[in-house]
A and B are shown apart, each in its own frame.
Chain A
Amino acid sequence: MTLTPHEVAVSQLEAGQAVTIERIRSLRFIKNNIIGNKTKKDLYIQLGIVSRLKDIVTTRDEKDPQLKTQAVIVLGSFAFGDEANILALTNSGVIGPLLDCLNPAGDPKLIEAAARTLNAIYASPKVSRQELFMGNHLNVLVQLLDTYSTSYRSNQEVIMLHTAELVASIFARCCETTDQQIQIAASGAIPLLMRLLVSGISKSQEAALGALAALVKDNSELAHHIANMRLETGERPAPYILRLACDKSPTMRLAAVTCLTYMNRAGVIQEHNSDIMLTVLPVLVKMLQLDGIVQETAPKVLAYLVWESESMQKAVCDMEAIPKLASIISHMGEEDNVYGIVGQKDKLKENSLLALAAISQIKEYCRRQVIEAKVLPHIVTAMSHPSVGVRAAACQCTRSLSRSVGSLRTSLVDAGIEAPLFQLLSDSDPGVLSSATATLCNIVLDVSPMKKSLMERGVVAKFVQMIGYGDNIVRLHAVWAIKNLVYEADSEVKETVMRQLGFHSLAALLNDAELDIQEQALNLVRNLACKRNQDIDLVFNGLGPGQLLSIIEDKLTWDDIRMLDHALYVLVNIATGTEYHRQSIMKRSGILRSVLGLMSHEAASIRVAAIWVIINLTWSEEDVAHGVHERVAILRSMGVEDRLHSLVTDSVPDVRERVKTALQHFVQDHQQYGHSGSPSVRHVGQDAYTSNEALGDSRMDTNTTVSGTGTSSHIA
Chain B
Amino acid sequence: MIPSRVCHLYPGSRFQGEQTSGSHSYSVIVDIKHVDLNQSTLSGYLLIKNLTPDYPKLTTFFDAEIIGPEFSFLTKKWDATEETDEEHWTQFSSFEGVVNLRDMERDFKYDFNNRDVVFMRWKEHFLVPDHRIEGVQGASFAGFYYICYQKITGKIKGYYYHQSSEKFQKLELDHVTERSFGSYEFR
Binding site for B on A (CB under 8 A): 310, 362-364, 399, 402-403, 405-406, 409-410, 413-414, 438-439, 441-442, 445, 447, 449, 477, 480-481, 483-484, 486-488, 523, 526-527, 529-531, 565-566, 569, 572-573, 576, 605, 612, 615-616, 619, 653-654, 657
Contact = CB atoms under 8 A, between A and B. Distances in A.
28 contacts: A310-B38, A362-B1, A364-B63, A403-B186, A403-B187, A405-B33, A405-B34, A405-B61, A405-B63, A409-B61, A410-B131, A445-B184, A447-B33, A449-B129, A480-B185, A481-B187, A484-B187, A487-B182, A487-B183, A523-B185, A526-B183, A527-B182, A529-B180, A573-B181, A573-B182, A576-B179, A619-B179, A654-B6
Q: Is the interface of A mostly helix, strand, loop or mixed?
A: helix
Q: Which of B1, B5, B181 has the most C-beta atoms of chain A within 10 angstroms of its own C-beta?
A: B181
Nearest to A616: B179
Nearest to A574: B180
Contacts of B185: 441, 480, 483-484, 523
B12 A572 contact: no
Given A405-B34, A488-B12, A572 B180 contact: yes
B152 interface: yes
Contact of B184 (A364, A399, A484, A572): A484
Interface of B: 1, 5-7, 12, 33-34, 38-39, 41, 43, 61, 63, 116, 125-126, 128-129, 131-132, 151-152, 179-187
B152 A406 contact: no
Given A363-B39, A406-B61, A441 B187 contact: yes
A363 B152 CA distance: 30
Contact of A409 (B5, B126, B152, B180): B126
Nearest to B131: A410
Contact of A615 (B61, B179, B184): B179
Contacts of A527: 182-184
Given A364-B39, A409-B131, A569-B181, 14 more contacts: A310-B38, A364-B63, A409-B128, A441-B187, A442-B186, A447-B33, A483-B185, A488-B12, A523-B183, A523-B185, A527-B183, A573-B182, A615-B179, A653-B116
A488 B6 contact: no
Contacts of A402: 186
Contacts of B63: 364, 405-406
B179 A405 contact: no
Contacts of A363: 39
Given A409-B61, A409-B128, A657-B7, A572 B181 contact: yes
A441 B151 contact: no
A574 to B, nearest CB: 9
Closest 10 CB pairs of A and B: A441-B187, A487-B184, A403-B186, A530-B182, A527-B182, A573-B180, A410-B131, A576-B180, A438-B187, A576-B179
Contacts of B39: 362-364
A477 B187 contact: yes
Q: Which of A572, A619, A653 has the most C-beta atoms of chain B within 10 angstroms of its own C-beta?
A: A653
Nearest to A660: B152
Nearest to A449: B129
B187 A480 contact: yes
B184 A653 contact: no
Nearest to A656: B152
A477 B187 CA distance: 8
A174 to B, nearest CB: 35
Nearest to A653: B151
Contacts of A449: 129
Nearest to B7: A654
A657 B152 contact: yes
B181 A405 contact: no
Nearest to A569: B181
A413 B41 CA distance: 23
B63 to A, nearest CB: 6
A481 B180 CA distance: 21
Contacts of B129: 449
A566 B63 CA distance: 27
Contacts of A576: 179-180
A539 to B, nearest CB: 12
Given A409-B61, A484-B185, A653 B152 contact: yes
A566 B183 CA distance: 8
Nearest to A661: B177
B65 to A, nearest CB: 11
B7 A653 contact: yes
Contacts of B125: 406
A666 to B, nearest CB: 17
A399 B1 CA distance: 12
Nearest to B186: A403
Contacts of A653: 7, 116, 151-152
Contacts of B132: 414
Contact of A399 (B126, B151, B187): B187
B179 A410 contact: no
A16 B98 CA distance: 98
Contacts of A615: 179
A572 B183 CA distance: 13
Nearest to B63: A406
B151 A569 contact: no
Nearest to A520: B185
B183 A569 contact: yes
A657 B6 CA distance: 12
A566 B186 CA distance: 16
A37 B137 CA distance: 69
Nearest to A605: B5
A442 B186 CA distance: 5
Given A406-B125, A657-B7, A488 B181 contact: no
B177 to A, nearest CB: 9
A274 to B, nearest CB: 19
A293 B187 CA distance: 32
Contacts of A619: 179
Contacts of A573: 180-182
Contacts of A310: 38
Nearest to A363: B39
B43 to A, nearest CB: 5
Contacts of B182: 486-488, 526-527, 530-531, 573
Contacts of A480: 185, 187
Contact of A410 (B7, B12, B126): B126
A526 B181 CA distance: 8
A197 to B, nearest CB: 39
A606 to B, nearest CB: 13
Given A403-B1, A653-B116, A572 B152 contact: no
A94 B52 CA distance: 80
A619 B180 CA distance: 13
A402 B131 CA distance: 16
Contacts of A605: 5
B141 to A, nearest CB: 14
B46 to A, nearest CB: 13
B5 to A, nearest CB: 8
Contacts of A483: 184-185
